[in-house]
Structure 1
Amino acid sequence: MCGIFAYLNFNISRERRYILEVLFNGLRRLEYRGYDSAGISIDSSLTSSNAGVAPPSLVFRQEGNIESLVKSVYQDVAATDLNLQESFLIHAGIAHTRWATHGEPAPRNSHPQSSDAGNEFLVVHNGVITNYEVLKESLVRHGFTFESDTDTEVIPKLAKFVFDNANEEGVGDKRVTFSQVVLEVMRHLEGAYALIFKSRHYPNELIACKRGSPLLLGVKELTEEDNRASFNDSKFLSSNGEPKELFLSSDPSALVEHTKKVLVIEDGEVVHLKDGGASIFKFDHAKGKGGETLVRPASVQRALSVLEMEVEQINKGKYEHYMQKEIHEQPESLKTTMRGRLIRGGSCKAKSVLLGGIKDHLKTIRRSRRIVFIGCGTSYNAALAARPILEELSGIPVTMEIASDLVDRQGPIYREDTTVFVSQSGETADTLQALEYALENGALCVGITNTVGSAIARNTHCGVHINAGCEIGVASTKAYTSQIVVMAMLALAIGDDTISSQARREAIIDGLFDLPKKVKEVLKLDQEMKDLAQLLIAEQSLLVFGRGYNYATALEGALKVKEVALMHSEGILAGEMKHGPLALVDETLPIVVIATRDACFSKQQSVIQQLHARKGRLIVMCTKGDAASVCVGGSCRVIEVPQVEDCLQPVINIVPLQLLAYHLTVLRGYNVDQPRNLAKSVTTQ
């Protein structure tokens, strides 16, 4: 959940003020991920790679938001007369936003974490070190003193321990390399992490490594010749002496304003930035007596990727908040998701779906014993919304798994299963663990993510890119609706060989073509949802009842209200109403009932009548024209939405609830883009 950013300029003069602002802006781009403190480290004076040990690095850490850090840094600069105009031909700086896991939000627990008072080794970290207590005990026995409550602090202290021991045992002028130090540190670490190391023993160098947490390298060449070069030219990673800027980030949103040339760092890789080049080594668990060694992998020659993201996508434009922007972007994100994948057909050709990422695996999927959807939170809800149509069109049993629960209980996964991993970021820690478990058990693994090059996209056998565009808001909105559409198209592709369902499939394809227009129509309820939010602003709880396709809508609508408006809300399967939830109903508790036209419509009418009989305070979502038939005696508030194919109705029905959650949050005075205690990509356990 933490944000990592680093900047290294090579053979191009940059003033200290410029370097600070690049680091601060990198952190600002990562704010949406969620955080409670921040910090940076820069050099105290000019250093040279030939100068041996450099002066101690400057470290600034602050609880609160990034602007608090910026203010404190410039106050410290003024107090110490640090020269902001001092220029560096080569300089390596690191920065971090922290979401507290070990230890409360406080400067001492913020990153960079240090090895000692002299800042010999500094580390920024995203993830959790599961064996930190054992490492800490060992380091304490060797005389180390710990200042923070974090798991991270063991990493720089372990680096110093390794470095000191290696140099004591060294012969002559031979000195342990930075890569060797980091390798030995990695050998002792358990858990998930993305790390960047900075050391005064290795001035103007940075080392990055990762296991289970996202990390990217951005490369900006500053000569015309290099800007014209092919992306497949491996010299982008070489020490060619040309001026360049190198960036490391846990998220592409912090890179896109500087460069679109990126390298996705793979698990187990060690990337050493030195002399303007990037050497990539592999931490290989399979070699050597101790189980690990450092080898140069074939991937060192792989090409840089080109980010599809544009700077405009990470700006709010005319909107006040990212969540608001992304809700209103849904007609366009749905068009993009479907573009090139829906085939209208002709006079003698049936309408169909083409999903290039899975077409070679369709026969295997159709022979599956079962299809298992695996996800967390919003992604799980999206899969739940798509389950009925997948069962209907494929005829294959579909089961649902929350990723963490599957791993916890080691649920049975078979070679005959198709497992579908749904994740907006493609980096969700629990989902990645479940993926590893499914691969070990021999299942076919399909990925559905919004992030090209993510861990899930790389490690599954096949998959579909959601293509919803960059999603900055912590509360997923447009990715959710695009996920449902992708899984509906997956159902159409799997069932494409069944003649008996052809008419049904063609009706759904027609519905998909019309869906963006229908979503644009339902977005006109914005003011109505704001008015409803005003009525609910002081409420403490909200229930949402759904059934069939819209059970997922109830869960997702309640989740949105819960995570951003900080209001207790619960999505309930309407068929379970009599088995406990009915006891909560009175004239004060607001209850949303989703009763749009589908196979469960008459059952939802019965639910409304029973809730009304108990004086329930009802808000009913229904299809346009159905207000009189669902609202008993005009005693409830009605939200009317357009009708689409039943399996696509969840895409329409969630939009008013997204708007309600957004307006509730703003009216209550909370930060809708940075909900309390939450982060965008849950990459830790």
Structure 2
Amino acid sequence: MRSGSNVCGIVAYVGPQDATPILFEGLQRLEYRGYDSAGVAVVGKSGQLRVRKAKGRVRDAAEGLPARFKGAPGIGHTRWATHGEPSDANAHPHVSGTVAIVHNGVIENADELRAKLTADGVEFASETDSEVLAHLIAAAAADPDVDLAEAVRLALTRIVGTYGIAVVDASRPGVCVVARNGSPVVLGLGDKEMYAASDVSALAGHTRQVVHLDDGEIAALTAGGYRTFTLEARATTKEPSELDADAASYDTGGHATFMAKEIHEQPEVVERALRGRLDPRFHTAHLGGLNLDPRDARAIRRVKIIGCGTAYYSGQLGAQLIEELARIPADAEPASEFRYRNPVVDPDTLYVAVSQSGETYDTLAAVQELRRKGGRVLGLVNVVGSAIARECDGGIYLHAGPEISVASTKTFTATGVAFALLALYLGRIRDLSPADGARIAAGLRALPGQIQEILDREAEIATLAAELAAHRAAFFIGRVRGFPVAREGAQKLKEISYLHAEAYPASELKHGPLALISPDLPTVAVVPDDELRDKNLTTLGEIRARKGRVIAVGHSAVADDTIVVPKNEPELDPILLTVPLQILAYHAALSLGHDIDRPRNLAKSVTVE
């Protein structure tokens, strides 16, 4: 079976230093993007290509590295496979002659190209589609009049698919070539040295100036600088931007895991997300990045939110906020479904794309389809300069800071706050009164302190989590505002504890799922003190009547085990109700001994289909 590189981390260096430690440091930071195999290739001082790669973690590839393994330029890769089993042979870099490449993406016409290369006498050492690209570049580079950048460009014109690549050639020292199409590549500018990576986390501590490549763009890097050009060989001009995070942002900060750190960062994250965005004079939100004036905002007749996984569930929460506060019909849909069903794109609809990384391939492709059909698209993203951020007409940056753990926590909360700000802005332009605007603004300001109150109860939640982990499965239920909370809670539990978890609207329980209720299947119920409290209590009674165990999350004790959460405004309560479910999932996984930051089969940023 052909094996794709797919979701992974790439790092490259060219300059006077030994590339090896720089590459392995970068790969350690990128390991959250892929951790099935890893490898590096460097060009030695005498012009030989040195390659080290292995199945497993980055530390496995680095272990026992000989002292002579030095050189520059160099490239590195950490891989998360979506096709075929990880192996030493399938690990990157891939080599053809003096050329080594690392690749993130999928080459769709790899089988056809492989057949042609095999017929020409090329022997393949792996099952990967990526190796095809290595042989194509090497063939183009066989012409001594063709430099490495041109060889890469010529090879890429034969490729159909997605890629983020970095290439070195031992016969052409002093240069590294990178390229992007559907998979991120960022350049880092140093002092007489250059870096590149698939994520800025690998560049922090080395540079403060970065350049984001666009799709279809290639960059040739030397110690003295870089040049960029298109697949058609047309030169492009790129302006560097400031990297907004330092190396300390990418360590655990004294916590046992990144997920624990990111859960505990949420009070600060919410404060940062709100900073400068609340207008006390008119009791509205100040969102200059929307590029949406009041006249255009009043013309909106519907809001459609798209995202994947946690971003989709936050979109459901956002749709509820927009309908309640702005009285505009709103709904959310998985971006992966939206882009394939040939949707009707309405000029009166505002589309909102949600993505932590800003590189999620399904969401990016949906945005591009919307733009092609004339839709107005806003982005809610966390990574400044990311592809979705650049594609959208405007948007809201989350300012949550780097999120390393695969299971998203603080960006879900930051996205909920961003949707509340958007709903407040749209509502105040329409029919939301100044008094209600002031009420929502006050509620938003109260969130950081209330989240801290929940974090202070972590030990109590951990006890319940250990009991939950003793079961093989769980139900999560919520009604209306509580349903997106239940879905996100189930997502977190299944992602990191590997317990089966299903979320249902509480009102749907009696329409089938109630058949599964037993003492062995606990239910986590989201029960805020709102207008639906009595109906939720009726549902809990149905569960208890069948001897089902209930763990409730709400504002008052409604079950034998209730995680009590501070009460905010009803519209904002879902943001708070999600936090204890994050802690519940974390401690369930911890009690089971799982690798919480790197759950099996998952990667942080899904940049392929």
TM range (shorter): over 0.9
- Change in 2 beyond 3 A, CA 1:123/1:658: same
Partner of residue 129 from structure 1, selected from 107, 110, 121: 107
The 1-side partners of 2:117 and 2:341 are apart by 34
Do 2:37 and 2:87's aligned partners in 1 also have CA atoms closer than 8 Å? yes
Do 2:316 and 2:331's aligned partners in 1 also have CA atoms closer than 8 Å? no
Deviation of the 1:505 alpha carbon: 2.1
Partner of residue 410 from structure 2, selected from 468, 474, 478: 478
Partner residue in 2 for 1:200: 170
SS of 1:471 mapped into structure 2: coil
Partner residue in 1 for 2:466: 534
| Runs of 4+ more than 6 Å apart | none
The 2-side partners of 1:60 and 1:402 are apart by 39
The 1-side partners of 2:68 and 2:161 are apart by 40
Compare CA radii of gyration and give the structure with the larger one: 1
Partner residue in 2 for 1:270: 218
Deviation of the 1:363 alpha carbon: 2.8
The 2-side partners of 1:422 and 1:106 are apart by 34
Partner residue in 2 for 1:305: 241
Q: Does 1:161 align with 2:139?
A: yes
Partner residue in 2 for 1:112: 93
Deviation of the 1:414 alpha carbon: 2.3
Encode CA deviations 1:553-607: one digit per residue, 9 max, x unaligned: 0000000011111111111111211221111101111111111112321211111
Deviation of the 1:500 alpha carbon: 5.1
Partner residue in 2 for 1:294: 233
Aligned ranges 1:494-573 → 2 under 5 Å = 494-499=426-431, 501-573=433-505
Deviation of the 1:45 alpha carbon: 3.6
Deviation of the 1:399 alpha carbon: 2.4
User: Identity over aligned residues, as a percent?
Assistant: 38
Structure 2 unmatched runs, 5+: 1-6
SS of 1:582 mapped into structure 2: helix
Do 2:326 and 2:431's aligned partners in 1 also have CA atoms closer than 8 Å? no
Aligned ranges 1:247-266 → 2 under 5 Å = 247-266=195-214
The 2-side partners of 1:500 and 1:2 are apart by 45
SS of 2:112 mapped into structure 1: helix
Do 2:269 and 2:400's aligned partners in 1 also have CA atoms closer than 8 Å? yes
Deviation of the 1:425 alpha carbon: 0.6
Do 1:612 and 1:618's aligned partners in 2 also have CA atoms closer than 8 Å? yes
Do 2:9 and 2:27's aligned partners in 1 also have CA atoms closer than 8 Å? yes
- Change in 2 beyond 3 A, CA 1:359/1:45: closer
Do 2:140 and 2:146's aligned partners in 1 also have CA atoms closer than 8 Å? no
Give the TM-score normalised by structure 2: 0.96
Partner residue in 1 for 2:573: 649
Partner of residue 586 from structure 2, selected from 662, 665, 670: 662
SS of 2:179 mapped into structure 1: strand
The 2-side partners of 1:326 and 1:637 are apart by 26
Q: Does 1:380 align with 2:312?
A: yes
SS of 1:58 mapped into structure 2: strand
Deviation of the 1:275 alpha carbon: 5.5
Encode CA deviations 1:444-470: one digit per residue, 9 max, x unaligned: 010110111000111101111011111
Do 2:100 and 2:167's aligned partners in 1 also have CA atoms closer than 8 Å? yes
Partner residue in 2 for 1:240: none
The 2-side partners of 1:21 and 1:518 are apart by 43
SS of 1:515 mapped into structure 2: helix
Q: Which amino acid aligns with 1:295?
A: R
Q: Does 1:218 align with 2:224?
A: no
Partner residue in 1 for 2:161: 191
The 2-side partners of 1:499 and 1:569 are apart by 39
Q: Which amino acid aligns with 1:205?
A: V
Aligned residues: 603
Encode CA deviations 1:171-203: one digit per residue, 9 max, x unaligned: xxx712222211111111122210111112322
The 2-side partners of 1:122 and 1:102 are apart by 22
Aligned ranges 1:73-88 → 2 under 5 Å = 74=65, 77=66, 83=68
Partner of residue 681 from structure 1, selected from 585, 605, 608: 605
The 2-side partners of 1:248 and 1:579 are apart by 53
The 1-side partners of 2:68 and 2:542 are apart by 73
The 1-side partners of 2:313 and 2:52 are apart by 41
Q: Which amino acid aligns with 2:506?
A: A
Q: Does 1:181 align with 2:120?
A: no
Do 1:420 and 1:446's aligned partners in 2 also have CA atoms closer than 8 Å? yes
Do 1:376 and 1:402's aligned partners in 2 also have CA atoms closer than 8 Å? yes
- Change in 2 beyond 3 A, CA 1:359/1:178: closer
Encode CA deviations 1:521-550: one digit per residue, 9 max, x unaligned: 111220011111221232110110011111
The 1-side partners of 2:607 and 2:125 are apart by 25
Aligned ranges 1:412-491 → 2 under 5 Å = 412-491=344-423
Q: Which amino acid aligns with 1:135?
A: L
The 1-side partners of 2:318 and 2:534 are apart by 22
RMSD: 1.6
Partner residue in 2 for 1:62: 54
Q: Does 1:150 align with 2:128?
A: yes
Partner residue in 1 for 2:36: 36
Partner residue in 2 for 1:337: 273
Partner of residue 93 from structure 1, selected from 74, 80, 90: 74
Higher deviation after alignment, 208-217 or 197-206:
197-206
Encode CA deviations 1:315-341: one digit per residue, 9 max, x unaligned: 111211100001011000000000000
Do 1:393 and 1:501's aligned partners in 2 also have CA atoms closer than 8 Å? no
Do 1:34 and 1:677's aligned partners in 2 also have CA atoms closer than 8 Å? no
The 2-side partners of 1:499 and 1:584 are apart by 44
Partner residue in 1 for 2:63: 71
The 2-side partners of 1:143 and 1:471 are apart by 46
The 2-side partners of 1:114 and 1:666 are apart by 40
Q: Does 1:321 align with 2:257?
A: yes
- Change in 2 beyond 3 A, CA 1:163/1:311: closer
The 1-side partners of 2:356 and 2:601 are apart by 19
Higher deviation after alignment, 135-144 or 409-418:
409-418
The 2-side partners of 1:98 and 1:364 are apart by 44
SS of 2:73 mapped into structure 1: strand
Do 1:386 and 1:647's aligned partners in 2 also have CA atoms closer than 8 Å? no
Deviation of the 1:64 alpha carbon: 0.7
Partner residue in 2 for 1:22: 22
Give the TM-score normalised by structure 1: 0.86
SS of 1:646 mapped into structure 2: coil
Partner residue in 2 for 1:225: none
